[in-house]
């Protein structure tokens, strides 16, 4: 089973709201990722967690705050977002960070 689940599927939020995206995998993978994908563009890496520690932050604005509570869960906390942050947010995982990545279905975010 190579399933990565993400909730919610869709999210609409105002610029003053605080919301969180959730990602879960039960494959025993120890590396987890957040990507942002705009329409008709490839995914762009945001954050990498390796063994529950943040190992890569691709200069993402502080209004995005990742959290890895345990080896199966990855959250992305959102606060004071801008309309240009509207996108598909994808979570992925890999076994140790040196193998291929498996993606979840994504959360489609709209910021009004």
Size of the site for another protein (CB under 8 A): 27
Q: Among 29, 47, 94, 111, which residue sits at the site for another protein (rule: CB under 8 A)? A: 94
Whether the bond between 8 and the residue before it is cis, its omega within 30 degrees of 0, is yes
Residues between 6 and 35 that touch another protein (CB under 8 A): 6, 31
Q: Among 25, 66, 76, 101, which residue sits at the site for another protein (rule: CB under 8 A)? A: 101
Interacting residues toward another protein by CB under 8 A: 2, 4, 6, 31, 40-43, 45, 48, 50, 55-56, 88, 90, 94, 97-106, 108
């Amino acid at each position: 089973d190579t399933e990565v689940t993400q909730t919610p599927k869709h999210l609409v939020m105002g610029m003053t709201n605080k919301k969180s995206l959730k990602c879960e995998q039960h494959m025993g993978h120890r590396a987890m990722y957040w990507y942002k994908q705009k329409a008709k563009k490839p995914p762009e890496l945001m954050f990498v967690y390796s063994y529950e520690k943040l190992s890569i932050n691709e200069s993402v604005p502080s209004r995005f705050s990742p959290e890895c509570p345990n080896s199966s869960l990855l959250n992305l906390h959102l606060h004071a977002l801008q309309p240009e942050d509207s996108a598909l947010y994808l979570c992925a995982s890999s076994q140790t960070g040196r193998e291929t990545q498996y993606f979840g279905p994504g959360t489609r975010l709209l910021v009004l």
